[in-house]
Amino acid sequence: MGIARQILFLGILMFLPCAAGAQTVEAYPPGRLERIVAPVALYPDPLLGEILQASTSPLQIVEAARWRQDPAHAGLSDAALADALQAENWQPSVRALISAPQILNDM
């Protein structure tokens, strides 16, 4: 299991429901955790790492997704896309996801 997948798994475990100070912990029904991680389970580790880092800036994700959908930017690729991104003040992980617009939209 790659480091990005381990981080994702630990991050999900942090959000599992539990009662503070209680003796028992409520568990998800079988298969629930798998359904939660299934959309990203097959992503390559470097991409998953970028997704996890970018997810800490949700406003930038929304801005980047809207920027990418703008007709003025939708057709850009490679050098033209890199040049257009110079004007944006987003963190590097958000910039990296610009080349994956479907992932931006899903986030």
105 near 65, Cβ under 8 Å?
Answer: yes
The pTM score is: 0.67
Give the pLDDT confidence of 53-88 residue by residue, as tens digits: 999 999 999 999 999 999 999 888 889 999 999 999
Is 6 a residue whose pLDDT tops 70? no
Q: How far apart are CA 2 and CA 5, in angstroms?
A: 5
Q: How far apart are CA 56 and CA 51, in angstroms?
A: 9
What pLDDT shows up at residue 37? 79
Q: How far apart are CA 20 and CA 9, in angstroms?
A: 21
CA dihedral (50, 53, 55, 60) positive or negative: negative
Give the pLDDT confidence of 28-44 residue by residue, as tens digits: 787 887 887 788 888 88
Residue 40 DSSP label: G
